[in-house]
Chain A
């Protein structure tokens, strides 16, 4: 069945059950992936998957939902029935409606959909990459975590009011995590991830080089003394922390009482005035971009922090209605609709005269800690309290030397962090989760075991 046929089938089944108001979101995907171990194929994987989420409104305009992987005629009828039953428990205090923007025109850019290269090609490329990474340095003994995958998928949103949107896409990913060992030292591990629309778009050589350089650079490691340090966040680590605390911008989190912000926080100073943060799901560098969200609302660029001030919240249909604004294209599709950012873009604002521009991670001579990657976000972030205590991979720069830090955590408070940004470097870097320059923060606590 194609997506138009599914829509017709849902419509007919809804009519037969006397369900007048419904919408659905669906995704259909074919994924292929390979893993290797010392030149041999380890696991080769293919999957064909379909997920259909149907919402139904009952006569009291309360919504119920069901999700299924069964898109047969009987599966669709069962899903509609179950959703109808679930609607008896619909939330009377916060009603859900169709997005008023679900039929607005969307800008469908060139989807850059690639053709599959096939498992054999994936395997050959990954085998070669593993060999090159193992050959890149004598200390690299294995590549325990590796994978090359390609996915082809279609997403759809439609409703009983006549909205219909769909797009097709392809995406490929390569990850290489190497393990290095030298005598009388603990093994060290690091890696790199690269994404592309297709396998041909992935810069495999640069992934190998990054994984090798990162891993080797951690061989010369040492414990760090517990203290407060000047910190330089890599673009990736800064985006990790912004995403971890994105409930500050999230209207759903505000209504749920789990955000540091409240309904009246727009305009509040959150950070140094030199900071701008946008959510830009349609950014040309965002491989995973989607032209619409789970409710069919078009995706758009939205300013979250403008010159240090909180500028906008991200919304679903229902949160937007409560906040008396319009949906922003950040909704999922659920009984209780989730809201989440798409792709964060961090940049230096025009009001940057207070920044200490001599802080440049490539040239700065004095002592600082460079945080390359933050780990265990699920365990170490208290988003509703604003605090974090996170293990990280990084280096201590001291007296012109760069020493990998063994087993340490960085701890602090997000509001303190944002207000104590002392430099935002000029050059932005594209990562898998957004774009950011290097960000310098004064005085964060580092715990080590020296």
Chain B
């Protein structure tokens, strides 16, 4: 490929149109991206075209998706929704600016048009480049062992049958008025190529299944829900213990059915393991993404190697735990993920960084460049993020509180532009004199990352992870949150 284009001396190209015309009429045989084939020549040509027009860096992200979702309500399948699609996202950097164009047109003409559009958006007029694109590296194909997945994942029939069994097992008494089971599967094939030589392919498989109930008795109402998810494990849905899940959801809804509203106030809380980790994700994790440094919205920007949390807190973000919802073989910028210790014994050690983050903030990439799909530019995003386990049992934490709240199941949450966060408690219990007592509903935890992190004073020894979806600048991505049981010495609990 390089030989074919070597006659294009950049300093001889007076006009963009010359290059465009020349490239379109080049001898490259393939005129469209073909999944499952070698696209190296075409990708090199497109990248060369962008570099030739003066870009500092060109990245091409191409995807082909095959998704399905199934919904069971009561004892019937009420929705089966397949979808498929393909598209490309092309990102051009010039100095510290970037231009991003997405398109469904995967022909050579379509991709070149997108490059041209990005170049024009960035107003690049100087095509004198000192560096010449040296071609793509040897193809790293992470998809080789994964091509068989499409034949190994459960069929719609199999999914439907198991979902119906699951919703049936939610029907444990006549107080359960609504039962739902939902499944979704995303199979994404990606090709990533960029002017630093990166050339990788991968196949990602994400499966998630959830159960929801609403219970009702006279004026009392409650709901319960649980979601499970995995990446890269075609058999996971088959292995899912739906009975255990149904029992858990049912118990939760029954426990909360007659619960009183929690009294608002400041109090110590114990947050359960698994999805309790959403507190760290929202309160601190987002503030350790380099996108927040770029915006100037993190209080931790200049705190590297300083104490930002209680010494009992060690926090990790990684993309390598086998089967976890946030795991990936390679990120959306073609980098293999690493295990990043963000906080070690309360000391800030690292930020979560992507290519733009490295360029704009100087923090090295961590394999965390992620995006929902081709129509988003990648950004620094969390993967599997959790607080490491400590030495205490769950009982130690609860026994240490005379008057507080145990948050067994968390709902969603969010973090604002100045670091203040909030999240809902789905299932909560009062703690009185070191014992769990009455269930309470309507609680919301409110705080500010900088103030709460030093108050996480005890970490349990029962670390577990839970899947979730995180929405942010580059769309919705699969993540895992996690922690052992933890104790927060004091936090504002919103209630009635």
Contact = CB atoms under 8 A, between A and B. Distances in A.
Contacts of B416: 189, 375
A93 interface: yes
Interface stretch (A3-11, A125-133, A383-391): A383-391
Interface residues of A, number: 73
B375 A66 contact: no
B122 interface: yes
A78 interface: yes
B120 A407 contact: no
A323 to B, nearest CB: 18
Contacts of A387: 261, 441-442
Interface string B387-427: 00000000000000000000000011110111110111000
Interface string B441-457: 11110111000000000
A179 B417 contact: yes
B99 A44 contact: yes
B81 A335 contact: yes
A449 interface: yes
Contacts of A389: 424, 442-444, 494-496
Interface residues of B, number: 74
A158 B352 CA distance: 47
B418 A188 contact: yes
B492 A407 contact: yes
A138 interface: no
Contacts of A144: 295-297, 417
B380 interface: no
A226 B444 contact: no
Interface in B191-247: 214, 221-223
Contact of A179 (B76, B78, B296, B493): B296
Interface in A30-69: 37, 40-50, 64-69
A409 B73 contact: no
Contacts of A71: 104
B413 A335 contact: no
B178 interface: yes
Contacts of B156: 85-86, 89
B422 A336 contact: no
B100 A375 contact: no
Given A142-B295, A391-B444, A447-B493, A48 B223 contact: no
Interface string A360-384: 0000000000000001101110101
A376 B418 contact: no
Given A46-B102, A70-B85, A389-B495, 12 more contacts: A43-B98, A43-B377, A70-B104, A90-B80, A93-B78, A179-B418, A378-B412, A379-B411, A384-B221, A409-B494, A411-B261, A447-B495
9 contacts: A45-B100, A46-B99, A48-B104, A70-B85, A92-B76, A179-B418, A407-B492, A411-B444, A447-B495
Interface of A: 37, 40-50, 64-71, 78-79, 82-83, 85-86, 89-94, 119-120, 141-142, 144-145, 177, 179, 186-189, 226, 256-258, 334-336, 375-376, 378-380, 382, 384-387, 389-391, 407-409, 411-412, 445, 447-449
